[in-house]
Structure formats: C-alpha cells, structure tokens
Amino acid sequence: MDKLNQLSRFVVESRYSDYPPFVVEKAKAAILYGIVIGIGGAPSRAVSKIVAALDLLESVNQSDARRLFDGRFCSVDNSVIANGALMHTRLQEDAHPAGHIGVAVLPAVLAISEKEAKSGADVLASTIVGYETALRIGRDHASDASARGFRTTSIYGVFGAAAATARLMSLNVTETTNALRLAANYASGLREFVNGGTEEYVLHAGTAAQLGVRAAAYAKAGITASRETLHGPAGFYRAFSSTEKQYDQRLVDELGKKYEFMNVAMKPYPVCQFHRGIIRGVIELREKIDDLTLKKLQIHMHPFEAEFFGVQYKGPFEAFPQTIMSASFCAGLAWIAGEVSYEGMNRFHDPGINGLLDRIHVVPDTDCQRYQPKLYLTLADGQTLHWREETPQDAYDLNWESAIEMVQVISREMKIPEHAFKMLVDNIKLLDDAKDPSSLIDLACELVGLVHCQTSS
C-alpha cells in the first residue's frame, strides 16, 4: 500500500478512543502552550501589520472563524493567517527538529473546528493527527531541507494543517491522501530573514496553515495531485533536498503505536532551540562567581548548529530575527541580565551586551552532540570554568506542567495576573467534554485583549 495512503488512513480512521491518555494530554499541553505563546505575542508590530493587510483584502465581515488578535469574526483564510502569525511572532512556540509545527496546525484546528462547530474531542483528535502527519513527513528530511535554506516550520506545517483540516472536514482516505499531495505543492518559506533581520518569518506559519486548509478543501472538491508527489524525481523530497535519499522509509513505522508527536519540546527562552543549553550554562556559571568581568567565552556546538544560518552573527543588531539566532547575543544577554526574556532579546543596542560580543566565540565541535553545547569560560583574573549540557532531553518536554510554567512566564511578562488564565487552563483540561471550541476561543481572545490594554496604557 502507498505509504502516504497509510498515513491518510490513520488521519481519517483512528478513533479518539484509540489515542493513549498520554498522547491526549500532550495535545492539551500543545493547545495551551500554543495559545499562551500567542497571547505573549500580542504586542507584536509585525502581527498588527499583517492584520491590517488582511483587512485591506477582506471588505465583508464574514463570520466563519475568529482571530485571536482582536476577537474579530472573519474568513477562515484571515483567521488562520492572523492566528499563525500571532503564535509564531516571538518564536517561542513548541519545537522539534522537523520544525515548529503547532503554529501551522493549531490555527487550522481552531478555525475549522469553530466554523464546523466540532466537539472538543474533535479538536484534540485533529491536533494529534496534524502534528503526527507533519512530523513523520519531516523527521528524516529536515536537516537536508534546512541546510538548503528552507524553513521546516512552513514546509512541513502545511502537511499538518492539511491533515488536521481533512479530519475536521470528514474527508475520506482517498481525499485526504490527495490533500497531502496537494499540500506538498504549497510548501514554502525561506531562512533568509535571519540574515536580513526582517519580518517575513511571521507569515510562514499562518500561510502554511492557510494553504493546508485550502489543500484539504480542494481535495474534497475533487482536485487531484500526482501519486508520486512526495518521492517522485520532481517531487517534494527531491525538490527540497540535495540528495537521492529515501526520506519516507520510516513514514508509517509503528503508526498509531509510537507517536513522533511525543518528541515535541517546549522552548524555555524566545531564542533558537540550539541556544537553550548555552543560556542555561551561562546563567549557571555566572551564579558561581562574584566578579562578572568576562575575558573569553568559547561556545562549542555540534557543527550543524554552529554553522547554521545566523548562529555566528555578532551584529550590528537591528531586529529580533537576528538576535534569536545569534549564539553570542544570547550568551551575552544571559551573562549581563542573568535571564533571557522577549524584552531582553530586543535590546539590540545595549552597550553591555554588544561590548561582550568580541569575547564570545562559537566553535564547531564534532565531539558535541546535537543540543549539547560545551562552554569554556575565562575570567579577567585568569580563572577558568567549564560547563557542558547534561540535562536530559525530557527536561525540555512539552507537557502539561511545562505548559503551565509558560502560563506563569507570560503572565509575568505581560503583567496579567496568573489567575486570569485559570479559566483558559481549566477549559483545555476538560476539552474532551466540550461541545464546541467557542468558549476556548472566547477566553483566548479575552486574554489577548488584556495584553492590548496593558501595552496601550
């Protein structure tokens, strides 16, 4: 049987009762985490610009779905683009080597489930199949695609949005397979924004969600795509990589038994996931010493990470997309401030941070594993300290506890009392029993509104 067809059968035919409780809890955590990160992105000027552009194109106030940015009812297209941008703007969403999939899947799930008045169980099931589809398609391909400059978030996120929409719109297996093949034609998004320090990355998530939704709608209407779309000589895998590898060999291995979704992590800081250990290490080292006069810091990283777009950039900094990728800036901020926040990542001209950058060096090191940097620190008095990432990977798991921790982080940053989030948390905890997603979306819109009130006062 065609592997993509098998994956589509899982999307369509798996029952909510089939999913293990830990997978359902993961879906709840992903929804809570994604919405909360979106709330933390509410002050974004880039999102305001996108919303303004969408309103130029949509003169009729449709009532299909809402966008969280301002609670407005609008078209599905408008909703998924705006919500994807909101959830993606601070780049602290959930993470996996195959990309930040939630920012494409969740906007599609929220919009279509609201339009179709689906149940909470449907919301959870479509979230699960959306993530699982995108991650399985991308997990063995992502490194090659990234090395060529493509954004994994958007090139795989479009598949996740298509799968989630297919589930919510009750497509059959053949239609769902076609939706995924069509989605391959819409995969797009480039990493050049890191070098330019520009805002197009914010559109990557929402556009992937929009095109995934459309792919499912086109498939339901009978539009077809090539059977070889994924692995043909001019297909998706070949177009987005530079080798002839068979990237789909594990596509359906233990499907429905082992979930790639379970490998999705949270991001403790609004930075590239490569830098989480660097920040943790710098903060731990600075707590051991009294004199913070830094002479030299060497950051040893896996070569793929050390040579990745923007990682070795040392300025000048003019925009957030530049600082999030710069290992030196992230380390400098952690050294100066003892923490790394969204506000701190926007301290582009801070003399304290910028004054350290010539003393901080990134070193490609084949002895480093992925996500396991080593730090070699020398102080002005000649004292040397070493640190290496030995935190187990599961310490960064996206789970209910880490989602609640992010509620606390965003509550502090946005100056909203933590109790204001309680109804949202309780709603998602009991989502299995909800008749539709309207109350969940109501609460999310209200919290975004509170952020706007705080930032405008």
Alpha-carbon span 42 to 44, nearest angstrom: 5
Identify the DSSP state of 65. Answer: E
Identify the DSSP state of 242. Answer: S
Residue 292 has pLDDT above 90, yes or no: no
Residue 455 region, left (φ>0) first, then alpha (ψ -120 to 50), else beta? alpha
Inter-residue contact 448 to 67 (CB < 8 Å): no
What are the structure tokens assigned to 393, written together?
């990977």
Taking residues 52-80, report their average pLDDT.
89
Taking residues 63-78, report their average pLDDT.
94
Closest CA to 39 of 456, 345, 450, 428: 450
- What contacts 91, CB < 8 A, 6 or more positions away? 100, 201, 267, 270, 271, 272, 320, 324
Alpha-carbon span 346 to 264, nearest angstrom: 26
Identify the DSSP state of 417. Answer: -
- pLDDT tens, residue by residue, 178-198: 999 999 999 999 999 999 999
Inter-residue contact 168 to 109 (CB < 8 Å): yes
- pLDDT tens, residue by residue, 99-109: 999 999 999 99
Q: How confident is residue 15, by pLDDT bands cut at 50, 70 and 90? A: very high
Start-to-end C-alpha separation, the chain: 60
Q: How confident is residue 455, by pLDDT bands cut at 50, 70 and 90? A: confident
Lowest mean pLDDT: which of 54-68, 123-137, 361-375? Answer: 54-68
* pLDDT score, position 59: 64
Q: Which domains does the chain have, with CATH numbers?
A: 3-266+397-456 (1.10.4100.10), 273-392 (3.30.1330.120)
Closest CA to 10 of 140, 155, 176: 176
Residue 60 has pLDDT above 70, yes or no: no
Q: Helix/strand/coil (H, E, C) string of 165-195?
A: HHHHCCCCHHHHHHHHHHHHHHCCCECCHHH
Phi then psi for residue 3, to 5 deg, are: -65, -40
Paired sense of beta strands 360-364 and 374-379, if any: unpaired
Q: Is 384 helix (H, G, I), strand (E, B) or coil?
A: strand
Q: How confident is residue 1, by pLDDT bands cut at 50, 70 and 90? A: low
Lowest mean pLDDT: which of 55-59, 230-234, 272-276, 378-382? Answer: 55-59
What are the structure tokens assigned to 186, written together?
């819409």
Taking residues 148-173, report their average pLDDT.
97
Residue with tokens 């589930």: 167
Give Cα separations from 419 to 96, 404, 422, 441 (angstroms).
Answer: 30, 12, 5, 18
What are the structure tokens assigned to 16, written together?
């909510």
What are the structure tokens assigned to 122, written together?
């449907």
